């Protein structure tokens, strides 16, 4: 079980969406972390054979995935970022249809559909029309369709985007439930989504994988330290300009800043343990999304 990305580049006219990406995925959960426009979706589309790379190749156990054609797609489960469906189909019909184009015989399709509907908590909504579902329910239907063929490669593009906090937690649990015995590649721009589920985190920026490793490894790789310091109100602005600040807490007489810096920024600054969020800020120069406002 080895999905190998070899020097994959993708250009859209003048834009380089992917720049010589190489990586090897084996069994486990991979979190693809990057800001909007980093190239996550483009990479995932290539892995789903929806887009042809401009150069480079992707192999599954040594075979080119585009040459494998249907054989490769048979291993694939995909939840796209803009998850589209047939609005007037019921949830059940929707899954049965996807099962049919995934080559499941009708009898098996029925069983799988019922199992998955129960697993994602949609069993009693199976006769509802897709367009009548809430955002979270749609996403769960989306996960269910991706899982119909028991894929060896499960690709989820921003599966938690647009979900409320409860749905998000639920979703994370669901994903860790589904992540056994397969390759799961999960993209997000929200650190907390993958901090605990992913065995390995890939930081993506400008079409390149800047860094990868376990959460711990990535945190350790950061050369700067994290400080917590209280700053009086008039000075807050200048500190925000001078340092990378990963968190601000407003206090009565000023603010408590979480600052990334190699040197101690103030005398009373306290050294903190860096988190993945701090690393995200360090590498991407912008704050990791805590919600979906920026989508």
Ligand X SMILES: Nc1ncnc2c1ncn2[C@@H]1O[C@H](COP(=O)(O)OP(=O)(O)O)[C@@H](O)[C@H]1O
Regarding 102 and contact with another protein (CB under 8 A), the answer is yes
Rounded distance between C-alpha atoms, residue 172 and residue 60, angstroms:
27
In sequence order, the 6+-apart residues with CB closer than 8 A to the CB of 158 are 40, 41, 81, 187, 188, 189, 295
Regarding 81 and contact with Mg ion (CB under 5 A), the answer is yes
The CB-nearest residue to Mg ion is 41
Q: Which of 33, 22, 143 is nearest to 78 (CA)?
A: 143
Task: Convert residues 22-61 into a mask of x (bound to ligand X by CB under 6 A) and - (unbound).
Answer: ------------x-xxxxxxx-------------------
| Choices 82-90, 184-192, 213-221, 241-249; region in contact with another protein by CB under 8 A | 82-90
| Choices 12-20, 37-45, 116-124, 211-219; region in contact with Mg ion by CB under 5 A | 37-45
Regarding 12 and contact with another protein (CB under 8 A), the answer is yes
CA angle 211, 242, 188 (to 5 degrees): 35
In sequence order, the 6+-apart residues with CB closer than 8 A to the CB of 15 are none
Rg (CA), the chain: 21
State the DSSP H helix or E strand holding residue 76, giving kind and residue range, or none if neither.
strand 76-79
Regarding 49 and contact with another protein (CB under 8 A), the answer is yes
CA dist 135 → 117, 159, 253 (Å): 16, 11, 41
Task: Convert residues 112-151 into a mask of x (bound to another protein by CB under 8 A) and - (unbound).
Answer: ---------------------------------x---x--
| Choices 19-27, 76-84, 162-170, 186-194; region in contact with another protein by CB under 8 A | 76-84
Which positions touch ligand X (CB under 6 A)? 12, 15, 17, 34, 36-42
Which positions touch another protein (CB under 8 A)? 12, 45, 48-52, 69-71, 73-74, 76, 78, 80, 82-89, 93, 96-98, 100-103, 106, 109, 145, 149
């Amino acid at each position: 079980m080895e999905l190998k990305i070899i020097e994959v580049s993708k250009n859209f006219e003048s834009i380089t969406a992917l720049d010589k990406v190489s990586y090897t995925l084996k069994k486990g959960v991979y979190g693809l972390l990057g800001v909007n426009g980093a190239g996550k979706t483009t990479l995932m589309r290539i892995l789903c054979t929806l887009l042809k790379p401009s150069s480079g190749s992707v192999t599954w156990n040594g075979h080119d995935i585009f040459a494998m054609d249907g054989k490769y797609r048979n291993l694939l489960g995909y939840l796209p970022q803009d998850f589209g469906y047939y609005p007037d189909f019921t949830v059940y019909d929707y899954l049965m249809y996807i099962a049919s184009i995934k080559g499941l015989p009708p009898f098996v399709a029925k069983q799988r559909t019922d199992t998955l509907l129960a697993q994602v908590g949609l069993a009693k909504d199976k006769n509802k029309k897709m367009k009548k579902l809430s955002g979270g329910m749609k996403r769960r239907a989306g996960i269910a369709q991706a899982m119909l063929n028991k894929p060896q490669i499960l690709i989820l593009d921003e599966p938690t985007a647009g979900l409320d906090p409860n749905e998000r937690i639920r979703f994370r649990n669901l994903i860790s439930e589904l992540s056994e015995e397969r390759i799961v590649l999960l993209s997000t721009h929200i650190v907390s989504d993958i901090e605990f589920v992913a065995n390995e985190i890939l930081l993506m920026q400008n079409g390149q994988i800047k860094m990868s490793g376990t959460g711990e490894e990535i945190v350790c790789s950061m050369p700067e330290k994290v400080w917590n310091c209280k700053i009086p109100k008039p000075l807050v602005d200048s500190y925000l300009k001078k340092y990378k600040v990963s968190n601000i807490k407003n206090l009565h007489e000023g603010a408590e800043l979480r600052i990334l810096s190699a040197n101690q920024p103030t005398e009373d600054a306290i050294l903190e343990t860096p988190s993945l969020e701090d690393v995200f800020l360090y590498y991407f120069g912008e704050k990791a999304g805590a919600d979906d406002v920026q989508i």
